[in-house]
Structure formats: C-alpha cells, structure tokens
Structure 1
C-alpha cells in the first residue's frame, strides 16, 4: 500500500487493521511522521512535536495487539494531534503566545487529554493556534503563519487551524479542537474536514472557561465516524468540571435513514453576505438531502445584526477581560489581534454582558420554536471560503462578493458564533466541495438542544450519499 493511501485512511479503518494484525502501529506511525515532516515545511501546522516518544509508544501498542487477551484501548496506537492550548503533564503548552513562550510545562493533564491518552492514542504533535485562540485565522509571533494545504495563500481557519490543516494534509487521522466563537467549525470548514461543537457541558473543559457556556471542546477528523469515535472518548462528566453533564452520552456509529425528515435552512441567517460559491455548493448539498427523502425548506429566523453583536459582547466581556489582564504586562509582545481583543475587553461593562444575555433570549425565541417543526437546521459554516493566511485586521478588510463586510473583522467571514450563543445546540460541520481557488466550503448541521445524535444522523446520511472525502488521490490536497 502506498504511504499516501495509508495516511488518508480513516482512523476507524486503521484501528480495524491494527486489531486484525494486518498493520502495525509502528509502520503507521512512521508513515504519519514522515508525512508530517514533509508537510510541516509547507503549511506549519504543528508547534511541538514528540516523534521519538511517539515511535516508542507505537512499539508498545504493537506489543499489546500481538497479545491474545484483547486488552487494547479504543484509540490504541492511533496518532492524534492535540491543540496547543490544553495541558499534558510534563509537555509544553504555549497557547501560541510569546507571553507564555515555549517553556511552560503544566503538571496536570486536561480531562479530555487524560481520556484520550487512557484510550491508547499517541500524541505525536501539538497543533498551531493563534495567540490565546482569539482569531479566526492561525498565525502568531511565536510560531509564524499556518497555511491551508489546499491553497497556501489562504488560512486553514482558526483558532484550531493547525488541527484542520494537519488533518487535511494527512499529518494525523484525528485531532482535537476547542470552540468559543467557531474555533472548531471555522477550520473544519476552511480545511475541508469534519468538526463537531457539542452542546455546552457535554465534554469537560479546563477552568475557568469550563464555566463559560460559549466554550466547547470537541473532535476534528476526516470522517464523521471518526469524529464519533473521538467524541465518545472525550465526552462525559468530570469531577474537575462542575458544568460537565451526567450521564455520559455514547453516540452510535450507525443510524437509520433520514427519509421523511424535515430540514430547515438559511443561506445567510438574515445577517451575512455569503460568497456565491459557498451558496452554490450548499445548494448541491441540499439536493443530496432531498434525494435522501428529506423535505428541505428555507426559513427566516428574523435575526438582525444584533445576533452578531450579542456574541461579540459576550466574548469581549469574558474572553476579552482575560486578555486585558495579560496585556497590562505584555502588550508590546502580543499580536495585533490579541491586543485589539484586550482593548475591547478592558472597555466592556457588566451592562454589556447583560445585553448579550438579552440578545441570546431574542435569538432563541425564534430559533427554538422553528426547530420544533424541523429535525435539523442547515446553514454555511463560513460566509467565504477563507481569508488570507496572514490576515491583519488592522490593515486588511473582509470582502465578500466584491463588497467590504461591515461585521467585526475577526469573525466577519464566519457564520459560527450565533451557535455559540445558542450553546446548548449541537453543531456538526461537514464539507460541501471547493471554491474556484481550491479552498473548501462547508455547511453546519444544527440540532435541537442536547440532541447530539440528530446532527450525526443527518451527517452520516449525507456523507454516505456522496461517498465521503479523501478516498481518492484526486480528493486530497497536493503538497
């Protein structure tokens, strides 16, 4: 088997080969590391790498598979790229910031990472993120610019941009992300992979942002079944996170057809200018759902620009306040976008935060009743395929269909944040094709509150109908 075909197999397929003793974790890890070393030079998806340790752990996994007692973890021997913002005891975490640097080594492991390691996965690398994960693109003064494997002039999205880029480039079969304004779904959309924002509390998070309902940790992968595989490991109550939900929800990997379902959709949420190619590819996706026997209807949510301002007020008040505290000491070495966020955070008042809660109520007053009539809701993930890889919000503008967007630049091209506001709704981002510049496009499938299985049922039906992604060499980026 050619290495290119091997590294683009799904994690589910690789795991099955391990269990049948048809593939060694050592052989697979060597192929993934070789690919990572080659691709890293072009797209800069990784920060820290742990290749030597990963090979040693792959040998240990191989030995486990050779035993007859069958005691192997659900992720045993699988490489996983973990976002460089969560903790692994004894390994550095940088948050993409010069204010932290490359020398911070936590003495504890984040709940999600602890579960991933216990399940047998091997962290061979950490993925790049913008400084403190506060941008929809991925570049930092500490690590440089991360580029989209499909077209290196563009960003793979952010803040989990390194994870999205690594998956698309074949540098890992699984990756983790976190999502406070779209940071899983934006790079899933721009990189052409699958990303899942679970409902608030489904997956545990690190303090203090485990108490922020906009915050979600979740899986990223190249197939929906792989996303389910990782989500089932990550989710469940944690004694270290009071917001984590009981009982643990285990998602099935097989679902009934969606014939007879009612699907609502909107191209623009009533707010955004949306790139014509994004719309065209979403129309193709909607035809697939129709052919599967679903009724597909456009709806008007009645939302206005206030739906965007609601999200920004929340993010600036909580997330921006944290950045403002850092900026008091380290402003000169922070990125432009982080300083801007900090400046807004410093000005935010309790009344602004209260307005964000009032705004969330207004949004759900229309969205909630609408979803009582439909099984899921669909809209684009990103309003444009991507912005430039080195986008600078102090100099650049977001231009869609030839017009400059009036929305806040950091999220003007992304349609994700309204569903952080509606944080209890599960959201699955899946690819719909490519724009003429080769950058992928994507849709979000949104479900009723805490109805995780619904979005996966719709997603699996769609993925199966189109034959999945990355299955042939023509369906992969050329690096």
Structure 2
C-alpha cells in the first residue's frame, strides 16, 4: 500500500518498529495533497512549516524511546468549522471572510496534546447547512471517486482528503448526517457519537442533534481518534462525565441480534444501495450474528415534520444571526443557505416538535429491546452532482437516511462502506446502537470490516 493510504493504526505500528518516520509519512501526504488538490479542492489551508516541526519532534520521541501520545506523529486534518484561536474561522461564507476565532474547540486541543501532526483544514458548505460542499468562498469540492459528484457534506472536505490520501485522519461534525454522508460517498468510516459524548462549543454543544466526531480509513482508526476527543470538558456542562472507550478490535458476533431496515419506513432506496445493504446483512450472518429484517414507521415526511421545528429553534436563528435581517448581507449567502434558513423559519412550534421527537423515538426504543444494533443504508441514492444547488431542502433531506438518528441524537452511529455503485461512488450503511452504547457499534463495525474485506484492501482507494 502507498504511504498516503496507510491507516493510522498501521502507521503507528510502523513508527514503533522504526521502519517509518512521522516525517516520511507527512511528506507522503503533503505530496499527495499537492497532486490531488487542483482537482479535488478539499483543503482550505495548510500549515506545512508547523507540521514539519511537529513531525520532527515526534520522530525524535520515537527515536529516543520516550513516551508518546495516542496520535503521535499521525497526519490529521481538521474540519474548518472547529475553530482555533488566532486563526481564521470563515464557515465557508463570504460574510465571514477573514474572521479570526477567539477560542479553540476542545477537540483540537485534545488532538494536538495526543501528538497528532495537524497539517491543514478541510472545506465545508456555508455554515455546514448542506449535504454537498461548494461555496462562493472556497469553490467546489469534488469526490475523488468521481469528480463530477460531491463528496457529500457538511464534512465533505474531510471525507475527500481521506479518500484521496491527502491525510491519515480527519475530524467532522454531524447535525443531520454531516459525518455519515461524506463517509458513505467517499468510502471511508465515520462516527456520529451520541449527544454529549464529545464536548463542544456553544450553542451546538447543547443541541441534541449535533456532535463532533472522527473520520478515518478503518474502524480501528476511528476508534483511536474517538477515544482521544471524547470525555468531559470543564467548558461544556452538557459533556458526559462517563468515559466510554471504544475499540476496533475484531471479535465474534455470535449471540448478537442485529436488525436490518432497508427503507426506514418509506425512503425511496436505489436498488444498488438496497443490494449492497443486503450484502452487509449476509456478511453479518457470516460473522455469526442473528440478522432479522424489520420495519420502522418513519419515512422522510415524518422525519422532516419532526425535525424542522428543531432546526427552526437552533440552526436557523444561528444562521440568521450573521445577517441581522440586512437584505444585502442575506443576498451574500449561498442559495442553499437561504433556502435552509427559510424552511427552518417555517418549521413550526418547538414544544410540539419536542413532543414529536419523543414519539419518534419510541418505536426505535421498543425495537432495540430485542436487538443489539440496527443496520440501514446511509443514503438512499448513489450520488449527488458536485454542484447540486440543494435549494429544495425537503427533496434533498428525503434522500438522506441519516437525519432520523439526529432526531434521536443520543444513539451512537458508525458509518461504514457497503460497496460501490456503477457510477464509481461508494455506498454505505449505518450501524446504530442503543442510547449511549458506543462499544457495540464498533464491535459490529470491526467484524463487518473484516468479513467484507472491502476498504481494508489496498485496491479499494480511488486512483487519481
């Protein structure tokens, strides 16, 4: 396997054996970024001098046999949405161009303290409010598997750099599928932690739909990063004091019961996505699990009716705070941002929405009294155009099977690939656990990863 497509766990093992240095790996991903960025456009900025200093410091620690951090020497890119004090925080918006952050996201501090070599930041849609990644500020980010298609959003840049080989690990965040959508379209692994597992910044640290989380090229890589960023933080009263360690180690699924739901109650699922999901079900049976196909009474219309009041209470006003009702400032927003804000404003009564969310959860909660995990497709379609306008919010969300699990945001969701569609774009599934049962979804994901043998094959990654 070429160095730029190593997993973090493989790289760490090679560092310890001293047959690869952090500097060599950084050089490889930087060279790959230079080769692919003119086409993919997934990086907002690079910090090459600082990264080289960090890589050399890690190299020295390994050479001297000193104590090393959990991410020691691993190249990593951060989603631009996660601020760093003293650096730009532009949110993909012309309105925020040149804005400098005055605080650092807690996961950034934890990643740097764990020894990662942070060498750049990745693109997002404006204010992270679309499942595609194109902005007037940064341009169009493209999918390394098929450059006519989007890598997804809002963590689209992170998904794209992982697929392209421009970094080894990346961060994302998820309020409606923003980690899982690009994980699916880019053929990588991503984890939406349950609400409050990973600390965040106001106001979204208190938003039960929202979570920051890890992305990588294997289940073990994602577990490695998740263990670094999770846990309580003094700046976030919502952050859970319980520390839930996860693992990418493979173990038997014998005795586990896994439910498979193909359409979540009415999503129009592409036959290729359906077939690849059934292939996942067969692989889980081969790994020893008891797998049963089930139904849930949801469907896209109910999901939208339930979620719009929530978006209208939190994310919609957040976006509107940047325009302050000024028509000239509003006109500078991306069309999809204006469409999202308008739909959120018409979302309905927040209290009624909370009641609807509780009723929405109940059939899932009852189902999970009989099963250890649920598996379903991540996205109903096989791809979106790289420049998809996304101005019809309801039509776009009706393709995304991720949003139900933000509505019931205390569930952990691991997104893994399920195959490749005829257009060359990967498909994916979500492994959903009971509330706050993070360990189980990683156990299922690790076994599935081994059984399918897809993204563990060096030939999996796109050749650009």
- TM class by shorter chain equals over 0.9
Match of 1:324 among 312, 320, 324: 320
If the length of structure 2 is used for normalisation, what is the TM-score?
0.96
Match of 1:357 in 2: 354
Q: How far off is 1:140 after superposition?
A: 0.5
SS in 1 for 2:39: helix
Structure-1 separation of matches of 2:426 and 2:194: 25
- Measure, in 1, the Cα distance between the counterparts of 2:319 and 2:27: 39
- C-alpha separation in 2, matches of 1:137 and 1:446: 23
Find the aligned partners of 1:302 and 1:55 in 2 and give their Cα distance. Answer: 52
Q: Residue by residue, what CA displacement relative to the aligned partner does 1:248-307 show, whole Å, maximum 9, x if unpaired?
A: 222234253111221111111012101111001111111101112212111122224222
Partner of 2:81: 85
Shift of residue 87 of structure 1? Answer: 1.3
Offset at 1:53?
1.7
SS in 2 for 1:99: helix
Give the deviation of 1:324 after TM superposition.
Answer: 1.9
> Structure 1's 231 and 269: CA in aligned 2 closer, same or farther, altered over 3 A?
same
Matched, 1:60 2:46: no
Distance, in Å, in 1 between the alignment partners of 2:178 and 2:422 is 24
250-259 or 371-380: bigger deviation: 250-259
Deviations 1:199-225 (A, max 9, x none): 101000111110111010000001000
Give the match for residue 18 of structure 1. 15
Q: Pairwise mapping of residues 49-448 of structure 1 onto structure 2 (< 5 A)?
A: 49-68=46-65, 70-101=66-97, 103-304=98-299, 305-327=301-323, 328-329=325-326, 330-348=329-347, 351=349, 353-394=350-391, 408-448=394-434
Q: 1:159 to 1:455 in 2, by over 3 A?
A: same
TM-score by length of 1: 0.93
Q: Tell me, in whole angstroms, the C-alpha distance in 1 between the residues paired with 2:125 and 2:217.
A: 22
The equivalent residue for 1:403 is none
Which of 435, 443, 455 pairs up with 1:457?
Answer: 443
CA distance in 2, matches of 1:44, 1:219: 21
Contact between 1:99 and 1:333, CA under 8 Å: does it hold in 2? yes
> In the TM superposition, what is the alpha-carbon distance from 1:137 to its structure 2 partner?
0.6
In structure 2, what is the Cα distance between the partners aligned to 1:470 and 1:392?
34
TM superposition shift of 1:348 = 4.6
Deviation at 1:468, TM superposition (A): 4.7
- Cα distance in structure 2, aligned partners of 1:167 and 1:331: 33
The Cα offsets for residues 343-383 of structure 1, whole Å up to 9 and x where unpaired, read as 2344455x2x2222122111211110101101110110001
Query: Secondary structure in 2 aligned to 1:408?
Result: helix
Aligned equivalent of 1:402: none
* Structure 1 residue 338: Cα displacement: 0.7
Q: For 1:93 and 1:410, how far apart are their aligned partners in 2?
A: 27
Q: How many residues align?
A: 460
**Structure 1 range deviating more: 31-40 or 327-336:** 327-336
Distance in 2 (alpha carbons) for counterparts of 1:316 and 1:422? 17
Are 2:308 and 2:347, in contact at CA under 8 Å, matched by a contact in 1? no
Of 421-430 and 459-468, the range deviating more from structure 2: 459-468
In the alignment, is the contact (CA less than 8 A) between 1:268 and 1:274 conserved in 2?
Answer: yes
After superposition, give the CA deviation of every residue in 1:66-90 in whole Å (9 maximum; x if it has no partner): 113x221111111111001111223
Superposed CA deviations along residues 414-467 of structure 1, whole A, max 9, x for unmatched, are 100000011111000000110000000000000000100110111011001122
Matched residue SS, 2:95: coil
| Aligned residue in 2 for 1:478 | 463
Query: Secondary structure in 1 aligned to 2:38?
Result: helix
Report if aligned partners of 2:248, 2:443 keep a CA contact under 8 Å in 1: no
RMSD, aligned α-carbons: 1.4
Provide, for residues 27-81 of structure 1, a one-character-per-residue CA deviation record: whole Å limited to 9, x for no partner. Answer: 110111000111111111111111222112211211111113x221111111111
